[in-house]
Amino acid sequence: MIYKLQFDSLLPYWTVLLQGLLFTIILTTVSTAAGIAVGTAGASARVFGPRWLGRIVVGYVEIIRNTPFIVQLFFIYFGLPAAGIKLSESVAAFLAMVINLGAYSTEIIRAGIEAVPKGHLEAGSSLAMSRVEVLRYIVLRQAFAKVWPALSSQIIIVMLGSSVVSQISAQDLTYAANFIQSRNFRAFEVYLVAALIYLSLAIAVRALLRAIGHRFVSVR
């Protein structure tokens, strides 16, 4: 029996899909920026900072990398209110994604930092550059150039993983797809369309990251 695809049952809900897509794009953009900032700070603290700070960073990274994202999300959204911290689902989703990406990118960027030859740091300080200037102009610039592909992949992973936030009723693309499916019962068409939208989004984001890499990150 050949299943007849009926995409016209989705047409009345195209605004719902669009709103979900917009939410996913905004959530991903903002979380990525904040997540990479956290990752940079964490990696720098781990490599150059005092021992105690490095230990805190290691603890944070290991906890986040060894627990599932959905568990972290549920902890923030359902668990924290018991400690008096009640967050809306958008804020909880953003926080969870930042914390998650922050941990993974800490390790990725740390690998890049440690690949910068020690001689470069010495050359920098011998030119009377402050530690912050050495970090910013010599170390991080090279570190990012080395790990940009790995970082791009992690960003895509987190973007696709953002579909999990639908579980706490954050109205992203997956939430929109689930909602439409519960109304028209056309699971095949709905999830096919949602998957294609995620695919297009991933391809577009990857191309954007590659362009950013060429323009800003690569060592010229």
> Applying CB under 8 A, which of residues 178, 184, 206, 213 lies at the interface with other proteins?
178
Q: Helices marked H in the chain — which ranges?
A: 14-48, 51-65, 69-74, 89-114, 118-126, 131-133, 141-161, 173-184, 187-212
Q: Does 90 bind other proteins (CB under 8 A)?
A: no
Type of residue numbered 25: I
Determine the Cα–Cα distance for residues 151 and 198; give it in Å rounded to an integer: 19
Binding segment toward other proteins, per CB under 8 A, in 6-14, 104-112, 121-129, 174-182: 174-182
Q: Which is nearer to other proteins, 134 or 173 (CB)?
A: 173
Q: Which is nearer to other proteins, 158 or 165 (CB)?
A: 165
Cβ 184 to other proteins, closest distance in Å?
11
Determine the Cα–Cα distance for residues 173 and 162; give it in Å rounded to an integer: 9
Determine the Cα–Cα distance for residues 199 and 107; give it in Å rounded to an integer: 27
Contact criterion met (CB below 8 Å) for 197 and 14: no
Determine the Cα–Cα distance for residues 11 and 30; give it in Å rounded to an integer: 30
How many residues touch other proteins (CB under 8 A)?
A: 17
Site string for other proteins, 50-89 (x = CB under 8 A): ------------------------x--xxx-xx---x--x
Determine the Cα–Cα distance for residues 43 and 138; give it in Å rounded to an integer: 15
Determine the Cα–Cα distance for residues 135 and 55; give it in Å rounded to an integer: 20
Binding segment toward other proteins, per CB under 8 A, in 10-18, 124-132, 166-174, 203-211: 166-174
Cβ 74 to other proteins, closest distance in Å?
8
Closest C-alpha to 27, from 149, 155, 148:
155
Binding segment toward other proteins, per CB under 8 A, in 9-17, 25-33, 142-150, 163-171: 163-171
Interface with other proteins by CB under 8 A: which residues? 74, 77-79, 81-82, 86, 89, 166-169, 175, 178-179, 182-183
